[in-house]
Structure 1
Amino acid sequence: MTDTDPTGPEVASSGTYLVTGAASGIGLAVADRLCVAGHRVIGLDLRDVDVCADLSTPAGRRGAVEAVLASAGGRLDGAVMAAGLGPAKGREDSIVAVNLLGVIELLEGLRPALAAATDAKVVVLGSNSAATTPFVPRRAIRLLLDGDDERAVRLIRRRRGVAAPVAYAASKLAVARWCRQRAVADEWAGAGIRLNVIAPGPVLTPLLRAQLDSSTGAQVRSFPVPIRQYGTPHQLADWITMMLSPSADFLVGSVLTVDGGTDALLRPDGWPRQLPMHALPRMLWTMYRAPRDGRVAQY
């Protein structure tokens, strides 16, 4: 399959899908895949799409939810949350707003429409930067997950000189943790919604090309990629399309890393890891409660 081939893994019978960041890069490649397969795509971006919205503002996020719900008619078969901002210096607040709140607030607002499909699938674009960027404050992640993004950004900006990449990594780490926490909840998995994250490494999108052509291009090129090539939007679109297909019916709360080997190179012993002893009581309690809560497979 070539990089320009619009075909890929088939999604289930014709449905309606939201794709954010649909005007370029991975979002555009996914939207093209879905359209070729006969699905209806509601594209969301700043311009040149069905729903134009600025996800960096509360009003923009609220308006996006209302417009998507109106366009979808109350039912979504899936969503791909590909909109995002890179590590632009001085834009730490916007990075967090788009990469984190632009996912959380949209998905929370669209959850009833996803539940209406009974087997909807959601793919959120994370990043391998979440696990390979140093100096990310743990407290900032806690603040982001607690909804206190203003204090989190103030804390991140104390990392002078590296605040932008730290903000990017923190936003992607927080969104991945939010997805894993929500994915197994009754209102998500219990409603038939499969929520997962894909964490790419460097992909030749307009964002990466701009970084390569910038004053920090040499630094970007020095980032280790063992396979010795960048990913392409169409390669990621293939993976995402599979994650929207019936093949992913058993995929829930996962973070799939597709990065040319960078994560394995930088932290070969980081994953998988054994269950820590302090987590044992919670595991035993969860297993005990699972039958009562209906969180067991039905045969």
Structure 2
Amino acid sequence: MGTYVVTGSASGMGRAVAERLRANGHTVIGVDVQPAEVVADLSTPAGRRAAANAVLSACGGRLDGAVLAAGVGPTPGRDQPRRILEVNYFGVVELLQAWRPALAAGERAKVVAFSSNSTTTMPAIPGRAIRALLAGDVDKAARALRIFGRAASSMAYGASKVAVSRWVRRHAVTRDWAGAGIRLNALAPGAILTPLLEKQLSTPAEAKAIHSFPVPIGGFGDAGHLADWVVFMLSDSADFLCGSVLFVDGGSDAYFRSDDWPGPVPARRLAAYLRKFKRFTSFS
């Protein structure tokens, strides 16, 4: 049996994942702003440092896997866009960077970061905000969102999830992650019936927008089903899964992007891909 850390373990998909892992006999270190093994506020640098250190202490410097499920939804509010960026992006990246040595100490460790199908179904997500997040500059990212006014929270949510997905893809194939035996992947859910979605559905305007969004198979996803996907991605069966973003969204991504992916490597970028390949083969 293994030792796993799950952020956002007190509710929604994080809670479902933690329950599945415990039912399978694993030790789970939950991290949440609500009661959990580690109580921490991931919206602040100090809170993230406290969470990272507490988990490292609890696991004894060895982790078999990590699930980054903590997140803030696109609810309106003056300070909400920045909070979304802090929790959804830095609450993933900073914790994973702190836990990487413990994951490397584990045998064939697996990491699942929660992304979203908003990454491909939401239009006009500002590239400046995404680039700022990937550069570690939350202030610049927040400034890039101000022009969106009341829609800034939605754009912050989309930008945070795009940035997480790109961070995962960029780092998964590097010496520090793949080269250290760690499998780093992302899961991109669609509309899953969690307490957050239930709260949104209780507001008529938000409920109308949610119900009008195309979900080809109809209805909403189940948090338990998403937990099953995460457990698979943490298992030995996922040893060959690396740098992937898996969409589990009832077909929405395919509805909007049926011809966008997959695609061939653009000829103009071939040289850059070859350079990356040479760097990879130096440690594989």
Q: TM-score per shorter chain, which class? A: over 0.9
Corresponding residue of 1:181: 170
Which digits, 9 at most, give the CA deviation of each residue in 1:159-217, with x for residues without a partner? Answer: 12321111100000000100111111101111100000000000000000101111421
- Whole-angstrom distance in 1 between the partners of 2:82 and 2:277: 40
Per-residue deviation, 1:277 = 1.8
The residue matched to 1:159 in structure 2 has which SS?
helix
Which digits, 9 at most, give the CA deviation of each residue in 1:136-174, with x for residues without a partner? Answer: 111211111011111111111211232111110000000
- Whole-angstrom distance in 2 between the partners of 1:38 and 1:200: 26
Of 12, 20, 35 in structure 2, the residue corresponding to residue 48 of structure 1 is 35
Corresponding residue of 2:222: 232
Instruction: Number of aligned residue pairs: give it.
Output: 281
The residue matched to 2:111 in structure 1 has which SS?
strand
Q: Is the 8 A contact 2:89 2:161 kept in 1?
A: yes
Corresponding residue of 2:24: 37
Of 193, 211, 228 in structure 2, the residue corresponding to residue 221 of structure 1 is 211
Higher mean alpha-carbon deviation, 105-114 vs 154-163, is at 154-163
Q: Is the 8 A contact 2:173 2:280 kept in 1?
A: no
Matched, 1:94 2:83: yes
- Whole-angstrom distance in 2 between the partners of 1:278 and 1:164: 36
Q: TM-score, normalised by structure 1?
A: 0.92
- Whole-angstrom distance in 2 between the partners of 1:87 and 1:193: 31
Corresponding residue of 1:257: 247
Per-residue deviation, 1:103 = 0.3
- Whole-angstrom distance in 2 between the partners of 1:15 and 1:118: 10
Corresponding residue of 1:266: 256
Greater helix share, structure number: 2
Corresponding residue of 2:49: 62
Matched, 1:25 2:15: no
Per-residue deviation, 1:284 = 2.2
Which digits, 9 at most, give the CA deviation of each residue in 1:257-297, with x for residues without a partner? Answer: 00000011112112112211221011222334544x122xx
Corresponding residue of 1:108: 97
Q: TM-score, normalised by structure 2?
A: 0.97
- Whole-angstrom distance in 1 between the partners of 2:197 and 2:280: 44
The residue matched to 1:158 in structure 2 has which SS?
helix
Structure 1, gaps ≥5 residues long: 1-13
Percent of matched pairs sharing the same residue: 55
- Whole-angstrom distance in 2 between the partners of 1:69 and 1:229: 40
Corresponding residue of 2:238: 248
Of 159, 165, 177 in structure 1, the residue corresponding to residue 154 of structure 2 is 165
- Whole-angstrom distance in 2 between the partners of 1:107 and 1:41: 16
Corresponding residue of 2:66: 79
- Whole-angstrom distance in 2 between the partners of 1:288 and 1:242: 31
Structure 2, gaps ≥5 residues long: none
One-letter amino acid matched to 2:51 = A
Of 250, 273, 278 in structure 2, the residue corresponding to residue 283 of structure 1 is 273
Q: Is the 8 A contact 1:115 1:192 kept in 2?
A: yes
